[in-house]
Amino acid sequence: MASSKFQELKGFSDEDLKAELVTTEEQYGKLKFDHAVRGLDNPLVLTEARKDIARLKTEVRRREIEAMSAEDIAMRSKIRERRR
């Protein structure tokens, strides 16, 4: 079952999605720095930020694959097959 955060991401436009990714990565960097310098009250915030970044990147990639032509998908399949 998909999480509510993932369902929310589906409603974003491509530009909003990429902007959200940049913002989340910046926040994660600041959180990491703060945690290294003085510690965080709740270090699990770092884990949540990493998961949010992964969700965003997954949605961006899913949309890229959906936008591919049939030739691009066939080439992608060949490349994936060679890796095995």
Residue 63 structure tokens: 């949309």
Does the CA dihedral 18-19-24-26 come out positive or negative? positive
Residue 3: which of 44, 45, 50, 52 has the closest Cα? Answer: 52
* CA angle at 20 for the pair 17 and 22, rounded to the nearest 5°: 110
**pLDDT tens across 13-71, in order?**
889 999 999 999 999 999 999 999 999 899 999 999 999 999 999 999 999 998 988 88
> Which domains, ranges and CATH numbers included, belong to the chain?
4-83 (1.10.287)
| Start-to-end CA span in the chain (Å) | 29
In this structure, the dihedral spanned by the alpha carbons of residues 47, 51, 52 and 53, taken in order and rounded to 10 degrees, is 100
Residue 29's pLDDT is 96
pTM of the model: 0.81
